[in-house]
A and B are shown apart, each in its own frame.
Chain A
Amino acid sequence: MNRHWIIGLLLLAGAGLSWAIPRYELLNPYLQATLMYLGINIILATSLNLINGYLGEFSVGHAGFMAVGAYVSAILTVMLIPVGAAIWRFPLAILAGGGAAALTGLVVAIPAFRTRGDYLAIVTLAFAMIVKSALENINAIGGPRGLLGIEGLSTMPWIFAWTVLSVWVIRNFVYSNPGRGVLAIREDEVAAELMGVNTRWVKIRAFMIASFFAGVAGGLFTHLLQFISPRIFDITKTTDILVMVYLGGVGSIGGSIMGASLFTVLQECLRPLGVWRMVIMPLLLILLMLFRPRGIMGLRDFPWFRPSVECPQRPPEIHHS
């Protein structure tokens, strides 16, 4: 059987399950919520991997994009889009949240033309802090108290659909022509430029796609938690996403999915340990980095996430100068 069929069947089964689980209460609400957070974490990790893994930058502002998407979509469903819009209301709000996040991604992409590495890291960090503190200063959306009264519109089928969509889009982007440009920039920006890669345009696209999905994840997160405040999107949130990406392996979509899953599951399993959980999680991360500095998957990926025409091959060594 062709692997396209297998993937199709798996997706169908997943879609069916995501509908059946809440419908017939196959799992208890706690496990259901964990599964939904898992989907959101997968979106966050894959989209951050596009910047940190494939483009080879070090962005620490992902929670900022997430916050933009979360607030825009929440404001739309709470205040602007009438309830009468029915089925279109939620996807529209999520799309708008993603779109707004993508626009802010542009703001971060432009400094990336001139600078790389640690200086760009600080630009993204400053960006995330600006977003958080701007949100704290707008009283119309609750300021530091946060926004209440958000409906629980994030259901399991929606989260499943968005997770599949984001993985699919990012995977296709990475293996597309501009995606090759992204990899070329990671390996050597000057050489990429010389070989005719339009580095600016490629960076803009990568940043906008990544921030779009961060915004989508933010929107889904908001309508799952039903409450947001600027404090949710602080540095700790970014650190969590970074941990997922580097746990799974940079430059590997399968790795990001694995990292997000491991992170979410471990976090729930270790919950009985209380505060010690928060000591053990980073300790595990340190040990992983010491013994497998490239994460679990390294640069490899599951064959499912590679285009079928590509021969199986050893991953190229990357040289970070």
Chain B
Amino acid sequence: MAYLFQQILNALQLGSIYALIALGYTMVYGIMTMINFAHGDIFMVGAFLCFVAATVLGLPFIPALLLSMTGCALLGVVIERLAYKPLRNAPRVSAVITALGVGLVLEHLTLVFSPYPRHVPALWSSATWHVGGVTLSSLQALIIVLSVLLMVLLDWLVRRTMLGLAIRAISWDRTVAAIMGVPVDAVISLTFAIGAALGGAAGFLYALAYPVIDPYMGVIVGWKAFIAAVVGGIGNVRGAMLGGFILGAVEIMVAAFLPSTYRDLIAFALLFTLLILKPYGLLGQPRPQKV
């Protein structure tokens, strides 16, 4: 029983990181109907910024987190302006291919500057508590609490503020939103900034939890988070959180109770069947098809 609780904690930790990344995918998709395949690599940049902050700059925890988040937000805005904005009226798929290209550039630029995997020093003096056979580290608690906090903040932002209203208006119909006076370009940039900042935070937390980082770490984690976003119903903010926690839970539980090499196999097979049964994800709705 204690083992089960321990695994639930691990699942929450991994799931909250997936959910943070999935949010970036889903926000960009919601507003631009575009899969931002570079997002996994923005997550990777967040992890590397954490490394830089901890070693080169010697920053404490909070400033380092802020550095990762703002650095990634800036990166997201720059990428949007340079690579995606000119393609807004091009066929959708060229923007997707451009995003793949941007991701590759980020990976290999990082590889140029850091050809070896790096070890991130501990930024958080971690205490551990033992409660009835379950071990909880303060780092684990921090990751879960911080991610949930960010998610609640985002949910509030999207549902309750003017900015959220503008985001939802643009994702409903960009042209009409522009006619109604929504500053479309600025809102899209801000959406990218928010999504990338969440990705940066995820990278930061990931680097603290699993401290060996390399330039390709964003590829597989990014694709998995994207799958999580789709499982929840892409474009849906709460769906992305749900999808992230489901994916984290499936992975951890498979690794805990079956040979761990089956982890990816079973996780993806489950997602595959889920998508065949519910092609638009758990919370997503098919867009009405006009004839």
Q: Which residues of A contact B (CB under 8 A)?
A: 52, 58, 110-111, 114-115, 118-119, 121-123, 125-127, 129-130, 132-134, 136-137, 144, 190-191, 235-236, 239, 242-243, 246, 250, 275-276, 278-279, 281-283, 285-286, 289-290, 293-294, 318, 320
Contact status A115-B280, CB under 8 Å: yes
Contacts of B276 in A (CB 8 A): 110-111, 114, 123
Taking the closest CB of chain B, its distance from the CB of A200, in whole angstroms, is 15
Contact status A279-B109, CB under 8 Å: yes
Q: Give the residue of A129, A191, A246 whose beta carbon is less than 8 angstroms from that of B97.
A: A246
Q: Give the residue of A122, A136, A144 whose beta carbon is less than 8 angstroms from that of B275.
A: A122
Contact status A278-B111, CB under 8 Å: yes
Contact status A294-B91, CB under 8 Å: yes
| Chain B contacts with A in 250-291, Cβ cutoff 8 A | 261-262, 264-265, 268-269, 271-272, 275-276, 279-281, 289, 291
Taking the closest CB of chain A, its distance from the CB of B142, in whole angstroms, is 31
Taking the closest CB of chain B, its distance from the CB of A308, in whole angstroms, is 29
For the complex, what is the distance from the CA of A1 to the CA of B76, rounded to whole Å?
57
Contact status A126-B271, CB under 8 Å: yes
Contacts of B86 in A (CB 8 A): 290
* Number of B interface residues in the complex (CB < 8 A): 48
Taking the closest CB of chain A, its distance from the CB of B179, in whole angstroms, is 20
Contacts of A243 in B (CB 8 A): 97, 100-101
Contact status A290-B268, CB under 8 Å: no
| Chain B contacts with A in 75-110, Cβ cutoff 8 A | 83, 86-87, 90-98, 100-105, 107-109
Q: Give the residue of A118, A123, A293 whose beta carbon is less than 8 angstroms from that of B272.
A: A123
Contact status A285-B223, CB under 8 Å: no
Contacts of B107 in A (CB 8 A): 278
For the complex, what is the distance from the CA of A125 to the CA of B94, rounded to whole Å?
18
Interface check B219, CB cutoff 8 A: yes
Pair count A-B, CB < 8 A: 132
What residue in chain B is nearest A274 (Cβ atoms)? B112
Interface check B35, CB cutoff 8 A: yes
Contact status A279-B112, CB under 8 Å: yes
Interface check B196, CB cutoff 8 A: no
Interface check B234, CB cutoff 8 A: yes
Q: Is the interface of B mostly helix, strand, loop or mixed?
A: helix
Taking the closest CB of chain A, its distance from the CB of B80, in whole angstroms, is 13
Q: From known contacts A118-B234, A290-B98, infer whether A320 and B93 are also in contact, taking CB-CB under 8 Å.
A: yes
For the complex, what is the distance from the CA of A293 to the CA of B98, rounded to whole Å?
9
Contacts of A293 in B (CB 8 A): 87, 90-91, 94
Taking the closest CB of chain A, its distance from the CB of B98, in whole angstroms, is 4
What residue in chain A is nearest B266 (Cβ atoms)? A133
Interface check B226, CB cutoff 8 A: yes
Contacts of A121 in B (CB 8 A): 35
Q: From known contacts A126-B272, A235-B223, infer whether A289 and B291 are also in contact, taking CB-CB under 8 Å.
A: no
Contact status A290-B87, CB under 8 Å: yes
Contacts of A123 in B (CB 8 A): 272, 275-276
Contacts of A242 in B (CB 8 A): 97, 100
Q: Give the residue of A126, A275, A279 whose beta carbon is less than 8 angstroms from that of B115.
A: A275
Contact status B262-A294, CB under 8 Å: no
Interface check B50, CB cutoff 8 A: no
Taking the closest CB of chain B, its distance from the CB of A244, in whole angstroms, is 11
Contact status A235-B230, CB under 8 Å: no
- A-B pairs with beta carbons under 8 Å apart, 22 shown: A115-B280, A118-B230, A119-B275, A126-B268, A126-B272, A129-B268, A130-B272, A235-B220, A246-B97, A275-B111, A275-B112, A279-B105, A282-B103, A282-B108, A285-B97, A286-B105, A289-B87, A290-B87, A293-B91, A294-B90, A294-B91, A294-B94
